[in-house]
């Protein structure tokens, strides 16, 4: 028993002496748990959820649409901005905005007339199909504020009374109605006219409490026809498997860079590095051989992973196939440079592996490999633009289900290549040739 306790004590002491490993074992789960906790509810706070970035396109510019736009802009659930149609559509297509609400020309008059049997107005929601929850929220808010404003516009004030007078005049002069039908409608609209006189005009103010206004307004069907359109340039639409394969492929390919760094460190420990340096090989050729071979292997592995996803689950390169290949190749280049960077800064395989794993997990987590980056808070989406994996994931998404043009892939390729050159330069500068 004494021997057992002594061995247990020794093992615990050895673990505590390895402060790097202990730090990683504690820090990594804390960081990951904090990250996911912040995304999926936090501490159950009753504060307003993250505002949804949307665009409001008012092509009608009527008093009614101006009031609705004002209410939507003031809602804390939305981060709304008024934009032209073309600009709003382009931002939604690229995933910069979650949706755009488009009030078409004539919406104000048609929506008001629809309350009395006229043709319904048309409103469109252009949305990013990767975030279906945003569409449901926008539907509800649009119905709430449109009904509120249409009802107050139709039943209160001079405009409402004038509109009712016009309706009653059409009924009176109609030749298609039988006398009893005409009398029935006249009685109905006379009752509505009475409601107009008693209806509180203050409810029409956009700044009034929506809850109080809604309680005073009658419940009727929305006076508009809603057209919903998911914006992707390709014909296949959103495919979650495309993002999943890009994310998991990026994660496991990046671990190849870690293995490259470990292989170089082990070669130096066993003396293989010294024998290679003794051969008629230049330093440039020696490091370049690792860089080029790992780039080719990592690119091919990533390509096979994406091809398997396309074969099994049917997503396609709706954008530029050449662009997709370039993004994958650039990510392979970055993976190889990251491996050399680890080998240059690492002192031992054991210590370097732990820190490398933590770095990889942080990059893939913040890069949107585990969950799409559009779930992140707005500030975090901006911060993660300095994470290379984010550019790889966004570039592959753009060339697959989003179906964007070659220019997006070219930008992602350039950024990934710049990161790779930076890591390779640091590796060349810091590499210890004497060992």
- For the chain, the maximum distance between any two Cα atoms, rounded to a whole number of angstroms, is 111
Q: What are the φ and ψ backbone dihedral angles of 103, each rounded to 5 degrees?
A: -90, 115
- Kindly give, in sequence order, each residue whose CB lies less than 8 Å from that of residue 315, ignoring residues fewer than 6 positions away: 236, 239, 241, 242, 245, 309, 400, 401
pTM passes above 0.75 = no
Asked if residues 77 and 141 have their Cβ atoms less than 8 Å apart, the reply is: yes
- Kindly give, in sequence order, each residue whose CB lies less than 8 Å from that of residue 128, ignoring residues fewer than 6 positions away: 92, 95, 97, 98, 99, 134, 230, 231, 374
Q: Is the confidence at residue 41, as pLDDT, over 60?
A: no
Eight-class DSSP state of 204 = G
Average of pLDDT values for 149-160? 60
- Name the band, by pLDDT with cuts 50, 70 and 90, for residue 392: very high
Domain boundaries, the chain: 52-156+199-230, 240-430
In this predicted structure, which of 189-193, 373-377, 398-402, 417-421 has the lowest mean pLDDT?
A: 189-193
Using CB atoms within 10 Å of the CB of residue 300, give its burial: 0 to 12 exposed, 13 to 18 middle, 19+ buried: middle
Q: Is the confidence at residue 433, as pLDDT, over 80?
A: no
Average of pLDDT values for 106-131? 75
State how beta strands 52-58 and 99-103 pair: parallel
Summarize pLDDT for 157-172 with one digit per residue, the tens: 555 566 666 666 766 6
Eight-class DSSP state of 50 = P
Torsion sign (Cα): 246, 393, 127, 135: positive
Q: How many Å apart are CA 158 and CA 317, to the nearest integer? A: 57
Q: Is the confidence at residue 394, as pLDDT, over 50?
A: yes
Q: What is the mean pLDDT of the chain?
A: 76
In CATH, what class is 52-156+199-230? alpha beta
- Name the band, by pLDDT with cuts 50, 70 and 90, for residue 236: low
Instruction: Count the neighbouring beta carbons within 10 Å of the beta carbon of residue 166.
Output: 12
* Model pLDDT, residue 435: 54
Summarize pLDDT for 240-276 with one digit per residue, the tens: 788 888 988 999 899 988 988 888 888 877 777 667 6
Asked if residues 123 and 130 have their Cβ atoms less than 8 Å apart, the reply is: no
């Amino acid at each position: 028993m004494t021997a057992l306790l002594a061995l247990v004590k020794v093992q615990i002491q050895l673990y505590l002496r390895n402060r790097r490993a202990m730090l990683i074992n504690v820090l990594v789960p804390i960081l990951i748990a904090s990250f996911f906790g912040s995304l999926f509810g936090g501490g159950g706070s009753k504060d307003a959820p993250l505002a949804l970035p949307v665009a409001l396109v008012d092509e009608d510019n009527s008093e009614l649409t101006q009031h609705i736009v004002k209410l939507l802009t003031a809602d804390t659930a939305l981060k709304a901005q008024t934009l032209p149609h073309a600009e709003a559509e382009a931002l939604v297509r690229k995933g910069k905005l979650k949706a755009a609400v488009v009030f078409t020309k004539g919406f104000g008059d048609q929506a008001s007339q629809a309350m009395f049997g006229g043709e319904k107005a048309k409103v469109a929601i252009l949305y990013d199909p990767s975030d279906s929850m945003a569409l449901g929220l926008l539907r509800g808010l649009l119905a709430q504020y449109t009904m509120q404003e249409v009802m107050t516009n139709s039943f209160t004030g001079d405009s409402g009374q004038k509109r009712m007078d016009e309706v009653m005049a059409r009924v009176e002069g109609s030749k298609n109605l039988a006398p009893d039908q005409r009398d029935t409608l006249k009685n109905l609209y006379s009752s509505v006219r009475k409601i107009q006189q008693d209806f509180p005009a203050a409810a029409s103010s956009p700044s009034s409490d929506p809850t109080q206004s809604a309680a005073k307004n009658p419940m009727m069907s929305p006076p508009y026809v809603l057209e919903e359109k998911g914006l992707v340039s390709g014909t296949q639409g959103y495919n979650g498997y495309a993002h999943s394969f890009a994310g998991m492929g990026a994660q496991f390919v990046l671990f190849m860079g870690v293995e490259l760094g470990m292989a170089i460190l082990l070669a130096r420990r066993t003396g293989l590095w010294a024998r290679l340096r003794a051969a008629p090989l230049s330093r440039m050729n020696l490091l370049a051989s690792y860089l080029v071979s790992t780039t080719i292997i990592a690119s091919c592995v990533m390509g096979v992973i994406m091809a398997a996803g396309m074969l099994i689950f049917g997503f396609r390169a709706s954008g530029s196939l050449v662009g997709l290949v370039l993004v994958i190749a650039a990510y392979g280049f970055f993976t190889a440079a990251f491996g050399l960077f680890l080998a240059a800064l690492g002192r031992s395989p054991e210590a370097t592996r732990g820190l490398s794993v933590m770095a990889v997990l942080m990059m893939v987590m913040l890069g949107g490999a585990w969950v799409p980056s559009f779930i992140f808070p707005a500030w975090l989406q901006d911060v993660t633009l300095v994470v290379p994996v984010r550019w790889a994931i966004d570039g592959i998404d753009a060339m697959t289900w989003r179906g964007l043009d070659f220019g997006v892939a070219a930008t992602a390729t350039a950024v990934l290549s710049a990161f790779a050159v930076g890591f390779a330069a640091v590796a060349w500068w810091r590499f210890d040739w004497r060992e």
